[in-house]
């Protein structure tokens, strides 16, 4: 239990940090990419508004016109006119006859004029005013502006260089984020031992107290039971002695269950091996046959032979006893109890289904059935002969978890069904 709590704490903490890192890094990278996109849009706007030229002297007016927008755009940064020489671009002027009259390719390398003319003609004849194309393994964003004279100004900006900073930031942030997460996980694994130590101490003391108190209570209960039986042997049997014996037996059962529950975590150290599930279940069903017959209940058993599962024999026997005992306790009068054990080839599991008639189970919330001390009858009427303590099903779930299996409960056709799935032995 303590180790499960510890690892759950570690996993939740790591996932929380991972979420924080993801949001932080994602926001940073998104902002950086947005800044790069905004930067390319501004440069293209300056190019088409200044006849394809990009110099501090020629662009000062254009930057001044954008000053209000840039100043307000705090998160995406401000554009510095002094940095215009860092950009690589192509500018083309196309006359009304779709003939290229001016071509400026002095700011690029390894792109021929023929290639530029072909691309320019294709872009000029297209319907888009903005877009992205690839030239010599570089991404170029382009923008087109129509002049009053019917000419077209085409500006192509190499954005690979602009976005490379953003991609580098993404790679670096991802690497540092993963490293920070791993470092945090290592530190957390080490520190968590000391962080949960007070909880572990309290939990262990609580278990020890329950065990010690249980053993101490057994002695007076045994004496009370023996004295009551002696009174009956002396001819003093009455409804009072019978009630005393019933309540003594009930209290003894409760103490035994509490001790078993306190020791339940010791089952985590069990060595799982190959166990004949079919044989164990047959013995259990036979042991309950007389009890079920005396209650005049229908009893249907269907057990597939020679099913081997990974479990521990005594614990698996205890699991089947809990489920059968629960079924016979809460089955409706003149109802039916059915037990079925089969295998499934597709998931390599053995499935045990224990069902009993339960007419009032339609509107019951079954989500808490495996919680400790939970009982569906909220009044906890201890006068009911079949009344339990809400411990058995919790123990069943703990045992199934130790076997690395699954247990569930559902209601169908007037029956409550407990389904246990365990891994088949190889």
What does the pLDDT look like over 342-391, one tens digit per residue? 987 777 899 999 999 988 877 787 777 777 655 555 433 444 444 554 57
In the chain, % helix, strand, coil (3-state, to 5) comes to 55, 20, 25
Instruction: Compute the distance between CA of residue 152 and CA of residue 117 in angstroms, rounded to an integer.
Output: 14
Report domain extents, the chain: 2-166, 197-262, 270-423
Q: Which residue has the tokens 């808490």?
A: 368
Nearest to 354 by CA among 330, 338, 367: 338
Angle at the Cα of 306 (from 301 to 311), degrees rounded to 5? 95
Q: Distances from the Cα of 405 to the Cαs of 321, 352, 397, in angstroms? A: 17, 11, 9
Domains 197-262 and 270-423 equal at CATH topology level: no
Which tens digit of pLDDT belongs to each residue from 173-194?
999 999 999 999 999 888 888 8
pTM recorded for the entire structure: 0.54
Q: Distances from the Cα of 239 to the Cαs of 229, 243, 250, in angstroms? A: 13, 6, 16
Instruction: Compute the distance between CA of residue 83 and CA of residue 73 in angstroms, rounded to an integer.
Output: 18
Instruction: Compute the distance between CA of residue 280 and CA of residue 201 in angstroms, rounded to an integer.
Output: 37
Q: What is the CATH architecture assignment of 197-262?
A: Orthogonal Bundle (1.10)
Mean pLDDT for the chain? 81
Class in CATH terms, 2-166:
alpha beta
Which tens digit of pLDDT belongs to each residue from 206-229?
777 777 777 677 778 788 888 888
Q: Return the CATH fold of 270-423.
A: Heat Shock Protein 90 (3.30.565)
135 forms bridges with which residues in the sheet?
Answer: 138
- Return the minimum-mean-pLDDT range out of 116-125, 170-179, 313-322, 413-422: 116-125
384 compared with 110, residue with greater pLDDT? 110
């Amino acid at each position: 239990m303590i180790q499960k709590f510890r690892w759950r704490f570690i996993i939740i903490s790591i996932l929380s940090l991972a979420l924080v890192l993801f949001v932080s890094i994602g926001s940073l990278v998104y902002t950086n990419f947005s800044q790069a996109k905004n930067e390319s849009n501004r440069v293209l706007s300056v190019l088409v508004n200044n006849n394809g030229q990009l110099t501090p002297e020629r662009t000062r007016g254009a930057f001044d016109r954008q000053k209000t927008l840039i100043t307000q755009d705090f998160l995406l940064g401000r554009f510095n006119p002094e940095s215009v020489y860092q950009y690589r671009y192509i500018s083309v002027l196309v006359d009304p006859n779709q003939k290229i009259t001016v071509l400026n390719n002095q700011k690029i390398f390894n792109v021929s004029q023929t290639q530029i003319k072909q691309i320019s003609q294709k872009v000029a004849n297209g319907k888009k005013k903005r877009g992205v194309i690839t030239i010599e393994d570089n991404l170029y964003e382009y923008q087109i502006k129509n002049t009053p004279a019917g000419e077209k100004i085409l500006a192509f900006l190499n954005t690979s260089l602009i976005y490379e900073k953003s991609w580098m930031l993404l790679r670096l942030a991802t690497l540092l984020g993963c490293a920070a997460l791993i470092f945090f996980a290592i530190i957390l694994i080490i520190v968590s031992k000391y962080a949960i130590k007070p909880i572990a101490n309290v939990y262990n003391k609580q278990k020890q107290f329950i065990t010690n108190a249980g053993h101490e209570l057994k002695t007076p209960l045994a004496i009370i039971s023996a004295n009551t039986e002696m009174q009956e042997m002396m001819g003093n049997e009455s409804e009072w002695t019978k009630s005393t014996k019933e309540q003594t037996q009930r209290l003894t059962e409760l103490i035994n269950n509490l001790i078993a529950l306190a020791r339940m975590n010791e089952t985590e150290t069990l060595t799982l091996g190959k166990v004949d599930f079919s044989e164990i279940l047959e013995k259990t069903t036979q042991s309950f046959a007389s009890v079920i017959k005396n209650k005049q209940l229908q009893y249907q058993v269907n057990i597939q032979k020679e099913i081997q599962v990974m479990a521990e024999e005594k614990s698996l026997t205890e699991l089947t006893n809990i489920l059968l005992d629960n079924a016979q306790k809460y089955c409706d009068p003149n109802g039916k109890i059915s037990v079925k054990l089969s295998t499934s080839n597709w998931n390599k599991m053995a499935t045990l289904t224990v069902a009993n008639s339960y007419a009032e189970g339609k509107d019951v919330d079954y989500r808490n059935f495996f919680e400790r001390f939970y009982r569906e009858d909220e009044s906890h009427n201890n006068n009911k002969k079949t009344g339990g303590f809400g411990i058995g099903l919790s123990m069943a779930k703990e045992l199934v978890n130790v076997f690395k299996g699954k247990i569930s409960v559902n209601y169908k056709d007037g029956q409550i069904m407990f389904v246990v799935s365990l891994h088949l032995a190889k």
